[in-house]
Amino acid sequence: MKYEKDAAAIIAAVGGEENISSLYHCVTRLRFGLKDNTKADQAALTAIGPVVGVNDAGSQYQVIIGNDVPLVHKAIVAELPRLASSEEGAADASAGTKGGKQKLHTRFFDFISGVFAPILPAIAGAGLLKGVLALINAFGWVDPSSQTFLIFSAIADAVFFFLPIVVAVSAARKLNANPYVAASLGAVLVYPALTTMLSAGEPVALLGVTVTSVSYAYSVIPVLLGVYLMSWAERLFTKIIPSFLKLTFVPMLTLVTVVPITLVALGPLGTFVGNGVAGGINWALDNGGAPAGFVIGALLPLIIMTGMHYALVPFILQNLATLGYDKFLPLTYVQTFATAGAVFGVFLRAKNAQIKALSLSTTFTALMGVTEPALYGLALPLRRPLIASMAGAGVGGAISLGFGVQAYVLAGNGGLPGLPGLVGATFGWAILGIVLAFIVSTVVSAILGIDESILAKASQTVAAHEKPAAAATAASAASTTDAPLAPSSGELIASPMAGELIPLDDVPDKTFSQRLVGDGAAIRPTSGHVTSPVTGEVVTVFPTKHAVAIRSDQGTEVLIHIGIDTVSLQGRGFEAHVAEGDRVTIGDPLIDVDLDAVSATNDTVTVIVITNLGLRSIVPGTPGTRGNGDALMHVLSTIDAEASHKEATA
């Protein structure tokens, strides 16, 4: 087997057979589920022939291969046959729907984040509006009984009142259930006549069984339990009901089975559990005082980096609905400003111009509430700024809990734009905690200093492990990119989608942005119709239909990858019109994608890269909008590139 030795080396480099719990692959990379990611040796992996990069994504350890990933995967499975069984369920496991593929707590956090991450924009937007309205009302700038104020209040509050419906749709998508049937389940819980009957104080019975009087408006846990049960019921009825009856009978039987169980058992249980857990969290926040604030604040940068904070979103929402405030949210503001202070300290101490520029820009983005560039770009690799951010967040957290700071809306932004969410009786203490978090982090970061050689070494490591072809491509591209291109030169690569042409550098996936699998361009699509960019043969249509590879008649291999990490969708929202071996010409339909459905959980930016550049080079098109079939870029051979460059400089 071609990659037999490489497979053995990869297994050893990720920590050995005993460290691998699951493995599957997408179109460019191996996706390992490891028991302990720290046992993987990144340097050893990148030194292995077919490996072009590594990405530690927490619950997933990604080894980037490129075109030959199916062959490398096959070689690894030949070495460890037990991994063949993990291929089918791996993507579902990453979505939290298959037990045993991931640790229980990992699946739980992944499920919660997968449900709430897509709906956070709606909640955050409405929450911020609630904060602004509260601020306006506090200053007496508006009559709270006016019709205008009431309408804007409805805009701000509606998503929270009907939260069971919104959560139901998102949970159904995560569990591969019908989102519209799930929305019907959520709608039942907030149906006005039912809500009135349950709140009237009179006994309510369903088929002789008592229905507990519970208000489900603003609630989260009951509908999550209901949709989870619905996902199993739907699969069961789909299996046993004949195909010609499924369209109507599967939804009907699912609802008439799940809704009563939810009203009688799951709803009250979810309310009880939610109130209990929220009560325990609130007890710790109310009684832990400054010491608890320091510990939680100091750990918060690590908690947010692992995504564990998503597990608290249901209880935060419940606090806001039942108490009118929450004490955990202010700690997230503290963490945000502490991170900004830590990288600002880097700016004060750095001598390298690039590090200074990076630290200043990430300080600004962190102050605006986006901390990922600061955390992953500077704090984590440099380590000392991470320690500084933990120190500042600890001090700010002590102030916050010590003086009982409260947040009154889920603004969805812990930076300057989200400050209206803190407006209230404790706003002054909130600002003090935030300011101290920033100052302490800045001072500690400046005192600790930075080892600028760490980033330099990282750059050298990447360069050292670049494949010769990639290096030749970069050099060739550098010599031709600025040269004007005659329309007849090289091979035209047409745009496969309508949208905005963006450089690969802006793609939020380093496998593509660092050109680990090839050079090219990207489209931020406005239409989901994907057509062939070249005339040639379809080499690969990935089983999940999110990617297709075509070899042109001139030998250029073009990979079209629709969306970021869309392999996890398992084909939902994608419809393929071609198969491997089909002949296509420029403009022929390849795939249709439901952009609205995909964008609910994934970035839809689509990458078009040349995976076998070798002695070829890329001449990108000018920025701007593209339609299907418009010129996207040209691929030149070395001879064409040199001739074009000489002509341009003559």
Q: Which of 445, 465, 485 is the last residue of a domain?
A: 465
**Same domain? 581 vs 509:** yes
Q: Which of 465, 484, 507 is the last residue of a domain?
A: 465
Contact yes or no for 159/166 (Cβ under 8 A)? yes
Identify the band that residue 31 occupies on the pLDDT scale cut at 50, 70 and 90.
confident
Residue 473 has pLDDT above 60, yes or no: no
**What per-residue confidence (pLDDT) applies to 110?**
60
Contact yes or no for 43/461 (Cβ under 8 A)? yes
In a domain, 200, yes or no: yes
Task: Name the E strands within 146-239.
Answer: 205-206, 209-210
Greater confidence (33 vs 76) lies with 76
In a domain, 306, yes or no: no
CA pair distance 11, 61, nearest whole angstrom = 12
What is the three-class DSSP state of 215?
Answer: coil
| End-to-end C-alpha distance for the chain, whole angstroms | 51
Residue 561 has pLDDT above 70, yes or no: yes
Q: Which of 465, 483, 511 is the last residue of a domain?
A: 465
**Per the structure block, which two tokens stand in for 416?**
């300057």
With tokens 């369920």, the residue in question is: 89
Query: Order of strands, edge to edge, in the sheet holding 616-620?
Result: 491-494, 631-637, 616-620
State the SS3 of 426-489: CHHHHHHHHHHHHHHHHHHHHHHCCCCHHHHHHHHHHHHCCCHHHHHHHHHHHHHCCCCCCCCC
Greater confidence (144 vs 533) lies with 533
**Mean pLDDT, range 458-478, rounded to an integer:** 37
**Residue of 73, 561, 634, 645 with catalytic role:** 561
**What per-residue confidence (pLDDT) applies to 188?**
92
**Same domain? 593 vs 484:** yes
Range of the domain at 55: 4-102
What is the three-class DSSP state of 628?
Answer: coil
What is the three-class DSSP state of 30?
Answer: strand
pLDDT tens column, 270-289:
667 666 655 666 677 778 88
**Residue of 25, 26, 309, 546 with catalytic role:** 26
Give the chain's domain count: 4
**Same domain? 338 vs 199:** no
**Same domain? 490 vs 444:** no
Identify the band that residue 437 occupies on the pLDDT scale cut at 50, 70 and 90.
very high
**Same domain? 133 vs 178:** no
**What per-residue confidence (pLDDT) applies to 200?**
73
**Same domain? 89 vs 134:** no
**Same domain? 386 vs 496:** no
Verify whether residue 26 is a known catalytic residue. Answer: yes
In a domain, 514, yes or no: yes
**Same domain? 93 vs 126:** no
Number of H helices, E strands in the chain: 25, 20
**Mean pLDDT, range 437-458, rounded to an integer:** 79
In a domain, 305, yes or no: no
With tokens 């009563």, the residue in question is: 260
Spatial CA neighbour of 197 closest among 208, 211, 186, 184: 211
Residue 145 main-chain phi, psi, to 5 deg: -95, 0
In a domain, 370, yes or no: yes
Average per-residue pLDDT in the chain? 79
Contact yes or no for 412/396 (Cβ under 8 A)? no
Q: How many CB atoms lie within 10 A of CB 37?
A: 17
Identify the band that residue 159 occupies on the pLDDT scale cut at 50, 70 and 90.
confident
Contact yes or no for 629/587 (Cβ under 8 A)? yes
Q: Which phi-psi region, left, alpha or beta, contains residue 58 (left: φ > 0; alpha: ψ -120 to 50)?
A: left
Contacts of 182 (CB under 8 A, 6+ apart): 168, 169, 171, 172, 227, 230
Verify whether residue 561 is a known catalytic residue. Answer: yes
CA pair distance 650, 634, nearest whole angstrom = 21
CA pair distance 177, 233, nearest whole angstrom = 10
State the SS3 of 325-338: CECCHHHHHHHHHH
What is the three-class DSSP state of 537?
Answer: strand
pLDDT tens column, 547-556:
999 988 888 8
**What per-residue confidence (pLDDT) applies to 93?**
40
Greater confidence (614 vs 500) lies with 500
Residue 508 has pLDDT above 90, yes or no: no
